[in-house]
Chains A and B, each alone.
Chain A
Amino acid sequence: MNGTSSGSPDDAVADWLRAAAGQLDVRTPAELLTVARAAAPAARRRRRLAIAVPAGVAVLAAVLATVVIGAGVLVGGQGDGRTTILPAAGFPTVVRGAAPAVPSEVPAAAGGPPLHLHYVDTPRLLTLTDAQRREVDARCAPQAPRLFVAVADRWGLQVLLAGEDGGGMCRTVNGPAAVPDLTAVPDLTGINGPILWSGGRHDLTKPPTRPVEVVSSGDDGSGRLGEWNARRWAVGQVSPQVALLVAALPTGDAVVVPFEPSTGAFITRIQVTTPDLARYQALGQMPLTLYAYNFAGTLLARSTATPCGQVPVCGTGPAAPTAVPLPSLSSWPPVAPSSGTGSPVAPATPATG
């Protein structure tokens, strides 16, 4: 028992609750676990759909998928003869300037001091080998997928894929590399990930209208007693004038986000390991802000992906833009933060580049 009665009315009620709970006699059905396990495949299907697809769209997608698969089987025989994922075409005409110096601080919330950054990882773009592409294709690619960006960081691999029936990400979450090895080949064991949107909800083959657009974000974690890994992640796209993208948590934990130079597609995560369970939970609820700079080091825009709450993935599309002018890197007056996943702040005078 956690408390003892000291005579107050509340203690008397608490004692009654404890005593009554102690008298509960529960008979567990024999098949409870078996039935729960048997229901898991259907639950997985529902979960995938529920992640990013509104119910109406899910029904429509299911009907269309049934028709398409049925037609494919009738016309082409077996349905498992899928082609391996292909690189995204990109925009050959995009020319980006060289990335400016990495900032050591960024504007914080309204009225607050600048946020000092400490970089916690060194993610880099990765060109997948044929074998790696086959592995990704076999584990988690949507139909007719295009590979938009693959990134290696100290926790493993992150891949953003999109195809005719939607987009998704595929990730490994390995133990941290003690020393980041820029030449190491990521281990793809256990690679997996959720579908983030369905159908043509987001077209990553075209440049975004705003400097940075977050199309999906979320949080997850793992760990054990004394070592908790809190992760905040986001996927999206930057416009051709963006030369540097930085992701940061309010704690100052940050990474330079690599993006595919042609399409501007990016996938990023910030993972923080802590022994404190309360801090782990707090980290999962923190907003993840992306800061987009042009080649001159001018902050073009920022987009804040707010936590999803009880769902693992949120942010199925950019909301209406909010035009708020932002300062350049050389001056940091406080700026009101944007809120909501995929609600980027557009620059007052967009730079060209």
Chain B
Amino acid sequence: MRTGEGDDGGFTAYFTPRAGELLRFAYLLTGDAGEAEDLTQTTLTRVFVVWPRVRGHDRPDAYARRVMVNANTHRFRRRVRHVLVDVPPERAEPSAQLAAVEDRAGLAAALAMLPSRQRAVVVLRYCEDLSEAAVAALLRCSVGTVKSQAAKGLAKLRIHPAIADPAAPPAPSQVRPPVGRRDRTPLAPRKEAP
């Protein structure tokens, strides 16, 4: 079946001021600037494909967030097994062409404790400050599920050092520089310099 082509029907105008918010949300879901950029691109592409249908909604960005959550779930399912190597792969130099996220408090490291769905609930509820009803609508689940997942998530996070002891130094992954596409998957544990 063919779809009508032409200009983007306001897609660029709508998402240009919102791309940063989507990238931030993607970072909170993935914990990695490179994967967040990939996820944001995937999401925007999928939304663009159905843009003629979506643009009539009052909150296309909410739809985009739902697409992103689903795409991230698939990313988890498809993730290949990581292979540990002795020497970490070389990282690319920072570039304006790639996304960068500065995470001063080590938020991504803390959220990494949570499974993907629980993480999505916690991020939407507390980092994006949505109401329980809004989170439930976005994730297509009940408010009760949001409450229970949020409570479980908070309980897990409570034991994270950065939260349990705010005076403790932040997690080492607090600053996420841009990374090259070929080495976005963390293949090896970081080694401390001797």
Contact = CB atoms under 8 A, between A and B. Distances in A.
Interface of A: 1-2, 9-10, 12-14, 16-21, 23-33, 35-37, 39-40, 43-44, 47-48, 139-140, 142, 168, 170, 190, 192-195, 220, 222-225, 277-278, 281, 285, 310
A39 B99 contact: no
A190 B11 CA distance: 18
Given A14-B154, A192-B1, A225-B58, A33 B44 contact: yes
Contacts, number: 152
B88 to A, nearest CB: 23
Interface stretch (B18-26, B78-86, B183-191): B18-26
Nearest to A280: B137
Given A28-B20, A33-B44, A281-B137, A17 B99 contact: no
Nearest to B97: A29
Contacts of B157: 13, 17
B157 to A, nearest CB: 5
Contacts of A23: 103-105, 107
Q: What size tier do the contact residues of chain B reach?
A: 35 or more
A310 B44 contact: no
10 residue pairs, one from A and one from B, having the closest CB atoms:
A36-B44, A20-B105, A21-B127, A225-B58, A25-B102, A20-B107, A17-B126, A140-B1, A27-B100, A39-B45
Interface of B: 1-4, 8, 11-12, 15-16, 19-20, 23-24, 27-28, 37, 40-41, 43-46, 48-49, 53, 56-58, 70, 96-107, 110, 122, 125-131, 137, 140, 151, 154-155, 157-158, 162-163, 166
B117 to A, nearest CB: 13
B1 A170 contact: yes
A190 B24 CA distance: 35
B131 to A, nearest CB: 6
Given A13-B163, A24-B27, A281-B140, A29 B99 contact: yes
A318 B2 CA distance: 27
Given A40-B48, A43-B45, A223-B56, A26 B23 contact: yes
